[in-house]
Amino acid sequence: MDYKTFRDEVFAQAKAKGFEDYELYYSAGNGFSVRVFKGEIAEYKNSSTEGVGFRGTYGGKMGYSYSEKLDTALIVPMLANAMANAGIIEEEEVEKLYPGDKEYQKVDGYSPAINDTEASEKIQMALDMEKYALSLDPRLTMADYCSVANQESHVAISNSYGLDLSQKTNRAYAYMLARAEEDGVTKSGMEVWYGKNFADFDYKSLAKKAVDTAVSYLGASPVPTGEYPVIFDTYTAADLFGVFSKIFIAESGQKGFSLLNKDKVGETIAAPHVTIRDDGITELSLENSAFDAEGVATQNKAVIENGVLKTLLYNTKSAAKDGVESTGNASKPSFGGAISTSTGNFYLVPGEKSFEDLISGVENGVLITELAGLHSGANVVSGDFSFSADGFLIENGKIARPIDQITVAGNFYELLKNISEVGSDLRFHYFSGLIGMPSFLTGGLKIAGL
């Protein structure tokens, strides 16, 4: 059954059963991925998902339910579950459906060109990428995650107030984890490519970057314990900001899980050249959306502008609690999940200096290129963090040697104030949750090594 026919039947039955208002959230997707290992296909997937989430007001309370199939026989039990769930809600704040906005930005997030590449061609890309990587350096022992893939999603939201929105997006990607070995020590390097057309994918470039990274870590050793100026590259910057992006979610402050709340808006919380944005639509990203999971039009906004906290991120429920408007950041983990809040295209606005310029400006410091223990080593409430790390020693403005077995520690709130330089090399990292980061330099972080 198609979505619109199913939706109309759901709405008719919801009205008949006494729901005061109601909404249907439709989500469908499909994906292809192939992973090769030692010249053979190690994993091949062609997957698809489809389902709907229902929510509606019954007896003054919001009830949730969902169905993994668009089958009219499942409508009655789905609505019954929503009615039962509404009856056990104890929260004082009443969740409400959104009637819609007058205008929504246009998003061209779907590229038909992705589908022009056949599965056999993508398999060959992965095989060629692995073969080329293994030819580049005798110390490379394997490329155990060598994959080519694409994903497509379709989201639609309709409710009894007349809201009717739909959007399709897709993207292509490839990645490789290369492993190099020397003197019994193994190091790895990862590189990822994202795009809207496989014709733009250069497997040789990706393979070389992954191999070069792995090889560059060989011969690593710790540095003496102390405080160092630290450069985070785009990957580790995204990892770090990805972990602590939760502090900018209004719900976190309302529940005491963040030091930021509505009373902090207007205060200086970062260095004057630090601007962090959360944009629904930006040409910098491949993952744009005109509306959030509640049907609120997404916004392009500064979260921090020149060091000053300008806004937190809201859905309609948390916005009502703070007496403000939603920022269009409602999210759902799946069609069956409850409404929460998340970042959109969340990124640190790049500066003018290149990555090489940042390196050349450091006399004696550390470049961090890998972080581990991201969740166990972070206290999101206090902002304290302590992560295992690898990277490179910087001496006299040049990368001197690789380093490993170190720990980098500090406080995220203090780090925001101590960022002294922001690079120009902005890059979005989708494995980190749509976090866009350039490399940046910060001072005074503790490095535990020798």
Q: Which residues pair with 232 in a beta bridge?
A: 368, 440
Token pair in block for residue 175 = 């990645």
Q: Provide CB contacts within 8 A for 40, sequence distance 6+.
A: none
Distance of CA 163 to the CA centre of its chain: 27
Whole-angstrom Cα distance, residue 54 to residue 85? 12
Q: Residue 1 in contact with residue 70, Cβ under 8 Å?
A: yes
Distances (CA, A) of 249 to 131, 180, 307: 44, 40, 18
Report pLDDT digits (tens) over 389-444.
999 999 999 999 999 999 999 999 999 999 999 999 999 987 656 899 999 999 88
Distance of CA 139 to the CA centre of its chain: 33
Q: Provide CB contacts within 8 A for 127, sequence distance 6+.
A: 36, 39
Token pair in block for residue 1 = 């059954």
Whole-angstrom Cα distance, residue 53 to residue 57? 14
Whole-angstrom Cα distance, residue 409 to residue 184? 29
Q: Residue 275 in contact with residue 436, Cβ under 8 Å?
A: no
CB-based contacts of 45-52 (< 8 A; 24+ apart in sequence): 46/119, 51/26, 51/27, 51/334, 51/335, 51/336, 52/3, 52/6, 52/7, 52/10, 52/24, 52/25, 52/26, 52/27, 52/335
DSSP-based three-state secondary structure for 163: coil
Report pLDDT digits (tens) over 42-91.
999 999 999 999 999 999 999 999 999 999 999 999 999 999 999 887 77
Characterize 148-161 residue by residue with b for buried, 16 or more Cβ atoms within 10 angstroms of its Cβ, and e for exposed. bbbbbbbbbbbbbe
Whole-angstrom Cα distance, residue 431 to residue 410? 24
Whole-angstrom Cα distance, residue 415 to residue 420? 10
pLDDT at 444 (0 to 100): 80
Distances (CA, A) of 95 to 60, 64, 236, 262, 338: 9, 11, 37, 20, 11
Q: Would you call 93 exposed, middle or buried from its count of C-beta atoms within 10 A (0-12, 13-18, 19+)?
A: exposed
Amino acid identity, residue 396? N
CATH 3.30.2290.10 domain range(s) in the chain? 112-154+163-216
Q: Residue 366 in contact with residue 402, Cβ under 8 Å?
A: no
pLDDT at 287 (0 to 100): 87
pLDDT at 431 (0 to 100): 60
Q: Would you call 97 exposed, middle or buried from its count of C-beta atoms within 10 A (0-12, 13-18, 19+)?
A: buried
Q: Provide CB contacts within 8 A for 175, sequence distance 6+.
A: 145, 146, 147, 190, 191, 192, 193, 206
Q: Which residue has the tokens 């668009």?
A: 70
CB-based contacts of 330-333 (< 8 A; 24+ apart in sequence): 330/292, 330/293, 330/294, 330/296, 331/292, 331/293, 332/25, 332/27, 332/53, 332/293
Q: List the chain pLDDT tens, one digit each, 450 residues.
A: 889 999 999 999 999 999 999 999 999 999 999 999 999 999 999 999 999 999 999 999 999 999 999 999 999 999 999 999 998 877 767 789 999 999 999 888 899 999 999 999 999 999 999 999 999 999 999 998 999 999 999 999 999 999 999 999 999 999 999 999 999 999 999 999 999 999 999 999 999 999 999 999 999 999 999 999 999 999 999 999 999 999 999 999 999 999 999 999 999 999 999 999 999 999 888 889 999 999 999 999 999 999 999 999 999 999 999 999 999 999 998 999 999 999 999 999 999 999 999 999 999 999 999 999 998 999 999 999 999 999 999 999 999 999 999 999 999 999 999 999 999 999 998 765 689 999 999 988 999 987
pLDDT at 92 (0 to 100): 67
Report pLDDT digits (tens) over 13-44.
999 999 999 999 999 999 999 999 999 999 99
The third-level CATH classification (topology) of the domain covering 112-154+163-216 is PmbA/TldD fold (3.30.2290)
